[in-house]
């Protein structure tokens, strides 16, 4: 069985490691460049995808994801289509800050977030619940393009909501998932199967 629009498989890649990742800074919809290791991770992912029947590449508009998607798209011989809906969850006032800086600027808010990560809205930003609605819209837009085996290049937090919708996961199960920089997931929607390439 295929998801709406006829997806037979959807591939999910995260951008490579960035400078801010190494510094423990939340990025959200701010940006920082890929590290040397991050570029190597993207090239490794390109190798993994080279034997897969990907038929379209869609990317977050953020620089770290676009840079990663360009490498992947070039390796696959496919153009990259940028979609705003694939951008990372907006971290609002937390963006650019480390955990210590967040605790100083927003006392106890990290603890509040731990109690209900799905509904917690970053100050001036989004919640996972907001991103979940956005993901439904972007998946419908991708389905309308006619792509059956698309590669989506995005981010760890948004990726959890992509996995939730594609594999029919509960929000609790989706939030337990991680997405390392050097891993590509293949989701077979009708079978609710998540495979690691």
Q: In the chain, which ranges are continuous DSSP H helix? A: 19-23, 36-49, 63-76, 99-105, 109-115, 128-144, 156-167, 171-175
Cα–Cα distance between 56 and 36 in angstroms, integer? 26
Backbone angles phi, psi at 179, to 5 degrees: -140, 90
Dihedral of alpha carbons 128, 86, 161, 105, sign: negative
Return the biggest CA–CA distance within the chain: 50
Residue 88 falls in the annotated catalytic set? yes
Beta pairing partners, 14: 154
Tell me, yes or no, if 179 is annotated catalytic.
no
Cα–Cα distance measured from residue 79 to residue 7, given in angstroms and rounded to the nearest whole number: 19
Catalytic residue among 52, 88, 91, 126: 88
**Which entry of 4, 15, 52, 84 is annotated as an active-site residue?**
15
Q: Which of 42, 47, 58 is nearest to 150 (CA)?
A: 58
- Residues marked as catalytic: 15, 88
């Amino acid at each position: 069985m295929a998801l709406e629009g006829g997806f037979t498989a959807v591939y999910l890649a995260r951008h490579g490691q960035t400078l801010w990742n190494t510094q423990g800074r939340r990025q959200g919809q701010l940006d920082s460049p890929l590290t040397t290791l991050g570029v190597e991770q993207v090239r490794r992912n390109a190798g993994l995808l080279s034997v897969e029947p990907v038929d379209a590449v869609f990317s977050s508009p953020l620089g770290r994801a676009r840079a990663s998607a360009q490498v992947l798209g070039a390796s696959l011989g496919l153009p990259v289509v940028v979609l705003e809906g694939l951008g990372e969850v907006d971290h609002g006032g937390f963006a650019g800050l480390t955990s210590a800086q967040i605790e100083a600027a927003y006392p106890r808010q990290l603890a509040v977030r731990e109690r209900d990560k799905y509904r917690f809205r970053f100050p001036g930003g989004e919640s996972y619940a907001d991103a979940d609605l956005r993901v439904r819209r972007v998946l419908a837009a991708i389905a309308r393009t006619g792509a059956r085996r698309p590669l989506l290049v995005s981010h760890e937090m948004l990726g959890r909501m992509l996995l939730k919708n594609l594999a029919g996961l509960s929000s609790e199960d989706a939030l337990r998932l991680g997405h390392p920089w050097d891993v590509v997931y293949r989701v077979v929607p009708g079978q609710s199967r998540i495979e690691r390439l």
